[in-house]
Amino acid sequence: MIPMTQTKDGAPIVRTEDGVLSGKYTESGLLSFMGVPYAGSLRGSARFDPPGPVEEWDGVKDCSQAGPAAFQVSTGGHIGRRVVTERPQGAECLNLNIRITDVEPGKPVLVWFHGGGLFAGSNAEPALSTEAFASDGIVEVTVNYRLGLYGYMSAGDSTSPNRGLLDQIAALRWVQRNIHYFGGDASRVTIGGHSAGGFACAELLASPLAKGLFHQVILGSGAGSARHVHSTAEDVKHITFEALGIHNRAELDQLDDDALLAVQQQLIDECYTQMPSRFGQASILGLPYEHTIDDVSVVRDVAEILATGARRSIPVMVATTTGETVHHVSHFPDDLTLAEAGTAYEGMVRPLGTSGAETLHAYQKMMPGVSPKGLLAAVNADLRFTLDSIRDAAAQSDHAPVYRFVLGEESLTFGGLTPHGAIQGAAWRTPPGHQPQMKLKPHHKPLSPWSAEFVHSAVSSFIAEGTPCSTTDQGEFTWPMVSELQDNQVLTIRSEEHKICTDPAWQRLQWWGEETLNRSHQTA
């Protein structure tokens, strides 16, 4: 057992490669080390540089409280405003939180990347503070990373535009060097994330720079869709620089964060709500600042890479909800017409070589009886979350164990009902007997106590043993692999039951086609 000492006040102390840290005991008796730096400060021009080394400190560093979140601002329409963190923001945002039961060695490790559209969120949100996995004896790590234009915009020089991804890789390298001091086994690291965290994990799974830094992957309501080609990245850079009134990296470095965030707010709102053609492929998701295909850190299409067997040793768990974007379409009237629906999403589908009218008419045929508003929700969910989740799962299933499930309820007249956020709410459910550390946001509340326990026990066993196994009142249920099911089948988990069902999204995937969804190709 690795020795752990205490301060005079009884705070736990752990020595890492970078220095000595003091944490605290939580109310439930767990050990937590919060705001642990895994890379250097982002002061000054470092805001747009690759992550640098951790800065040295003298004595014992107090890690009893969560560190600053990455810079962000309320934007992205009515949905984006819900995900902005209330936590303080700052240049020392490249930090992580660790929760453990003790430092007894050999524990499996979960490294989780938060959601927020790649422009918002933090590693200390209420949904990630439940101690769900630490209570199961898993070393629980949650990570902050750069967001928005700080993390995903070309800076006008030769550095990578994928700084947020490079931050995440730096965090994984820190884990490889240091997690044994906290009882973790560096050869048993599972990465996972929800929404933007799922986007990130799909890119990490495919990225050559991240190879060997983890051993399993969980894609929660997000896969390989948040990416665009170099020409779109150049368009976004020019649009941003013009709005900032600058021409190059040197001028970018002179601007303060208030000026940068004001423009970020303006441009994400425009792209997210209007989906104009000037943003190229970025208008598909409405995210101007997303991963750029650079042939170094982000290469080709995720499903295309996985299909080659390039990651054949890595098991993957893939999850979506039935109604990922029910809240995204909540501002549309219930009596929306099919023509109005087609016009509303013209900008989203244009880069994929089709029109809003053509798309909505096709969806109406595939989903008879569903209202135009429900059809809009299905199109939005498919392009953001669902279709790439199916593609990535199918591509990897020929080379490694893959487990996929859909969580939620459905309606004949609207389609899927269970919103984005339910996957994380279930996986990170508050352990029995624990008091919630903070009040959960409504969209992160589990679908039901039964489904939450079914999902959490499966995710926990996947992290610990490599095979998801759910604990129920009727006993244990070992999940089938994707390769054991028919192509159009999926494990569906509802409020009080689970079963293998025909997946209606499979038909829609065939309509779109693999070539259309491969965003390595310029189609706009």
Q: What is the pLDDT of residue 524?
A: 44
Length of the chain: 524
C-alpha span between 150 and 490 (Å, rounded): 38
- The identity of residue 426, as a single letter, is A
C-alpha span between 12 and 490 (Å, rounded): 45
The DSSP string of 40-64 is ----GGGGGSPP-PPPP-SSEEE-S
Spell out the long-range contacts of 298-301 with Cβ–Cβ below 8 A and sequence spacing 24 or more: 298/162, 298/165, 298/203, 298/206, 298/207, 298/227, 299/206, 299/207, 299/208, 300/206, 300/520, 301/224, 301/518, 301/519, 301/520
The DSSP string of 159-195 is S-S-HHHHHHHHHHHHHHHHGGGGTEEEEEEEEEEET
- The secondary element (H helix, E strand) that includes residue 458 is helix 449-465
What are the tens digits of pLDDT across the range 302-350? 999 999 999 999 999 999 999 999 999 999 999 999 999 999 999 999 9
Q: What is the pLDDT of residue 1?
A: 44
Q: What is the pLDDT of residue 522?
A: 52
Sites in the chain below the pLDDT cut of 50: 1, 523-524
C-alpha span between 111 and 128 (Å, rounded): 11
C-alpha span between 35 and 118 (Å, rounded): 20
What are the backbone dihedrals phi and psi of residue 189, each rounded to the nearest 5 degrees, phi first?
Answer: -100, 125
Map out the domains of the chain with their CATH numbers: 1-225+293-511 (3.40.50.1820)
C-alpha span between 252 and 235 (Å, rounded): 16
Q: What is the pLDDT of residue 139?
A: 98
Going from the C-alpha of 454 to that of each of 16, 197, 203, the distances in angstroms are: 36, 22, 28
